[in-house]
Amino acid sequence: MSLRVVSGSSNTGLAGAVAGACDTELVDCELSTFPDGERRARVAPLVGDDVFVVQPTGPPVNDHLIELALLVDACRRGRSDRVTAVVPYFGYARQDRRDHPGESIGARVALDLLASAGVDRLVVVDAHTPTLEAMSSVPMEMLTAVPLLADAVRDACRAATVIVAPDLGAAKLAEHYAACLSLPVVVVRKQRLSGSEVRASTVVGDLGGGMALIVDDMVSTGGTIEAAARLVCDHGVRSVVVAASHVLPSGGGSARFEDLPIERVVTTDSLPHPLVPGGTIEEHSIADLVAATIRRLHGAPGQLPAPHP
Ligand code: R5P
């Protein structure tokens, strides 16, 4: 059973780097769109192969999700032996519960779509919620970029640095950064007003007045980071660094930070972003992390992943 890597259209740069780190090349495939907007996928022969389809489902989320399902189906119908979807950023993961009567649960629908297309296993990096694994009917490998991003900011973290969780949901993630960097954690109380606006009202913990490392799993519109940064600066913090595993390319997030003392936004290449020279966004590649997991799942000798703290 040969290890093969297929790329969807959402992040061919990452997929190519992952294939290279697995000592293979991307499988030839054709992805096209019919005049009515339907996507179509066709892959080269993969009979008996162990196939890894790399496709983060960032914006446009629906196109990338359906394309992933079509690629999985194409591999399955092409008689590959096993199909693993590598979805470093898993769109719809924020819809993990019903906040209001009558709502759908998007995370469950997205997972069921992939399972029904024939996926055998999923690989996800810093999923918005650990519940995603429990919701999935196929096994899921949950990876984390926190040690990678913590290393990237280690030198910038002076003695007076505190780690800031911009909402309660980010508190566990902040504890993971705290364990990597031996720094204290404070938590911001956030209320979401709309898809793009949030209100940060109080800080629980001692900010100290030095630097704040605001951590989150993702930046979409930038509203959460903007509100947290304004609040901590109002409380005496002088400079801010942001670490987020996923920065959505369409969110316009960093434009909202322009009048704030945000020195750097450190993220991964889970999603493609146009990097502006001299801009604040700094990318660190997860290709080696993903490739090591693929090799382990394929059966190559390797270590088990470290358990999440
Ligand atoms: C929310 O629960 C997430 O962890 C992020 O804080 C949020 O989704 C970021 O979105 P935005 O950048 O639009 O505030």
Residue 83 token pair: 């199909």
* Residues in contact with 158: Cβ distance below 8 Å, sequence separation at least 6, in sequence order: 210, 211
pLDDT at 280: 83
Query: Which atom of ligand 1 lies closest to the CA of 166?
Result: 6
CB 156 within 8 A of CB 164: no
b/e map 171-193, b = 16+ CB within 10 Å: bebbebbbebbebebbbbebeee
Q: Which of 129, 220, 242, 248 to probe ligand 1 with, by most ligand atoms within 8 A of CB?
A: 220
Could you please state the CATH topology (level 3) that the domain comprising 146-284 is classified under. Answer: Rossmann fold (3.40.50)
**Residue in 64, 108, 176, 190 annotated catalytic:** 190
Give the C-alpha separation, 111 to 114, whole Å: 5
- CA distances (Å), origin 259, targets 8, 49, 201, 263: 37, 52, 20, 11
Can you say whether the dihedral through the CA atoms of 46, 49, 53, 54 is positive or negative?
Answer: negative
Give the C-alpha separation, 187 to 164, whole Å: 6
pLDDT at 307: 66
**Which residues are near ligand 1 (CB < 6 Å)?**
94, 128, 166-167, 169-170, 198, 216-224, 253
Query: Which atom of ligand 1 lies closest to the CA of 128?
Result: 4
CB 105 within 8 A of CB 76: no
DSSP letter, residue 128: S
Residue whose CA lies nearest to ligand 1 atom number 2: 169
CB atoms within 10 A of CB 263: 15
pLDDT at 249: 85
Q: Is 282 helix (H, G, I), strand (E, B) or coil?
A: strand
pLDDT at 277: 66
Q: Where are the alpha helices (DSSP H) in the chain?
A: 12-21, 61-77, 106-117, 131-135, 146-153, 171-181, 223-234, 287-298
Give the C-alpha separation, 66 to 91, whole Å: 12
190 catalytically annotated: yes
Give the C-alpha separation, 24 to 5, whole Å: 8
Question: Which position has the token pair 């690629």?
Answer: 71
pLDDT at 254: 65
Q: pTM of this prediction?
A: 0.94
Question: Which position has the token pair 């930046």?
Answer: 219
**Beta strands 161-165; 211-219: pairing state:** parallel
Give the C-alpha separation, 289 to 71, whole Å: 23
Give the C-alpha separation, 293 to 190, whole Å: 35
Domain residue ranges of the chain, discontinuous segments joined by + = 3-144+287-299, 146-284
The beta strands (E) that lie in 126-257 are given as: 140-143, 161-165, 185-192, 198-204, 211-219, 239-247
For 75-91, the DSSP string reads: HHHTT-SEEEEEESS-T
Give the C-alpha separation, 306 to 236, whole Å: 37
DSSP letter, residue 260: S
pLDDT at 160: 77
Query: Which atom of ligand 1 lies closest to the CA of 223?
Result: 14
Can you say whether the dihedral through the CA atoms of 272, 145, 230, 191 is positive or negative?
Answer: positive
pLDDT at 303: 55
DSSP letter, residue 145: -
pLDDT at 240: 95
Q: Do the domains spanning 3-144+287-299 and 146-284 agree at the CATH topology level?
A: yes
pLDDT at 255: 72
pLDDT under 70: residue ranges of the chain: 250-254, 276-277, 300-309
Could you please state the CATH topology (level 3) that the domain comprising 3-144+287-299 is classified under. Answer: Rossmann fold (3.40.50)
Query: Residue 131 corresponds to which amino acid?
Result: T
pLDDT at 308: 63
